[in-house]
Amino acid sequence: MRIFKEHLILKGCSVKQALELLNKLAPDSILFVVDHEHKLIGSLTDGDVRRGLLNDFTITSRIDEIIQPNPRYIRKGENNISKIIAYREELYRILPVVDENMCVVNVINFRTIKSYLPIDAVIMAGGRGQRLQPLTDSKPKPLLKVGEKPIMEHNIDRLAAYGIDNFWVSVKYLGKQIEQYFGNGHKKNINIEYVWETEPLGTIGAVSKVTNFVHDYVLVTNSDLLTTIDYENFFLDFVNQEADFAVLTIPYQVSIPYAVLETKDRNIKSLKEKPTYTYYSNGGVYLMKKEMLQYIPEDSFFNSTDLMEALINKDFKVISYPFTGYWLDVGKHEDFEKAQVDITNLIF
């Protein structure tokens, strides 16, 4: 993945310097012109340079006079996903992301990512992974490789593919290994911070430690899932349903090989011949409005199911997002072995 700063050029640079940078960027040849504080001033393409040269500029001329002064951009933290989709459908392929001061903080490329969702992500990676012993005796479960890379890296890369670039990782058991492997995330053009659990805090309790979320929506996911979920579709469904909290659910069908009688006080009310029932299981991925996090007690053992129950009791809108695509909880040895086979046929 290209580091976004490769798309930046300082105002006052020469046309020759711009050409050298554009040549390195091919086929992503567009530059965003910034000042010394990274404030966005304009954009520059091969076509702009070509037109400048035809108008008697030279390679020693300053780029300031040939740039496009009003480039399209995305504002960090902006919740208008329809704007992002419109840019993508109108084939605006590479766009700068700016903060409230118009300083460039990222550059997104729809050739390499699918969307740019206004979501912060928390990955729960502090568990011991006892069911996968002895594999987890000296390595944390999130770093066990499925195919060519660790389970957790599959998760991070899929989230990043939808433009999520602010991550918090909850760690405890052998957490230093996880921190050393992923670092600050800049090599993947994302930002990663670490939340350390001194005591086990359940499946969502550690999220209470995060005080610097950037966006109004937060996604919390287990680190040991392998899934092909479309996060943009998940987010759009959440918004369209006007939900406060959503959980990815996995449908399971149970077929009864006999007729089922429904009774009341021993009286038969109905009969179903060999029915099939569909139940929905917790898939370990949660999307919520940031304000829902206030219902997670600080520094206390608290599970995601506890939060769901608390929100339901307070009459918040808690919805299911039924998912029929690929999903696997890599929790046991047989799951780990299945993942090694499945990964060769999965498209991430």
For residue range 292-343, list pLDDT tens digits in order: 999 999 989 999 999 999 999 999 999 999 999 999 999 899 999 999 999 9
- Residue 35: HSE in the Cβ half-sphere, 13 Å Cα cutoff: 7
> What are the C-alpha distances in Å from 288 to residues 72, 90, 153, 224, 331?
29, 29, 23, 20, 25
Tokens of 4: 């976004």
Query: How sure is the predictor about 270, in pLDDT bands with cuts at 50, 70 and 90?
Result: confident
Please answer whether residues 96 and 107 qualify as being in contact, where contact means their C-beta atoms are separated by less than 8 angstroms: yes
> What are the C-alpha distances in Å from 158 to residues 29, 33, 149, 155, 285?
25, 30, 13, 5, 13
DSSP 83: H
Q: Give CA torsion, residues 155, 3, 216, 306, to 10 deg.
A: 20
pLDDT recorded at residue 348: 63
Residue range 12-34: average pLDDT? 93
> What are the C-alpha distances in Å from 10 to residues 30, 41, 93, 272?
13, 9, 22, 73
Residue range 16-44: average pLDDT? 93
pLDDT (tens digit per residue) in 310-319: 999 999 999 9
Is residue 255 classed as helix, strand or coil in its secondary structure? strand
pLDDT recorded at residue 328: 95
pLDDT recorded at residue 346: 81
DSSP 209: G
- Judge whether residue 165 has pLDDT over 70: yes
- Residue 343 CB coordination number (10 Å): 18
pLDDT recorded at residue 22: 93
Query: How sure is the predictor about 77, in pLDDT bands with cuts at 50, 70 and 90?
Result: confident
pLDDT recorded at residue 336: 94
Residue range 142-163: average pLDDT? 96
More confident residue, 32 or 256: 32
The whole-angstrom separation of Cα 282 and Cα 305 is 9
pLDDT (tens digit per residue) in 80-127: 899 999 999 998 899 999 999 999 999 999 999 999 999 999 999 998
Average pLDDT, the chain: 93
Tokens of 68: 């496009």
Residue range 54-76: average pLDDT? 92
Place of tokens 């006079």: 65
Query: How sure is the predictor about 253, in pLDDT bands with cuts at 50, 70 and 90?
Result: confident
pLDDT recorded at residue 1: 57
Of 159-168, 171-180, 258-267, the poorest mean pLDDT is in: 258-267
**The whole model's pTM is what?**
0.88
- Ordered structural domains, the chain, with CATH: 4-109 (3.10.580.10), 119-244+284-342 (3.90.550.10)
pLDDT recorded at residue 322: 96
Query: How sure is the predictor about 3, in pLDDT bands with cuts at 50, 70 and 90?
Result: confident
Of 1-5, 20-24, 101-105, 314-318, the poorest mean pLDDT is in: 1-5
More confident residue, 94 or 129: 94
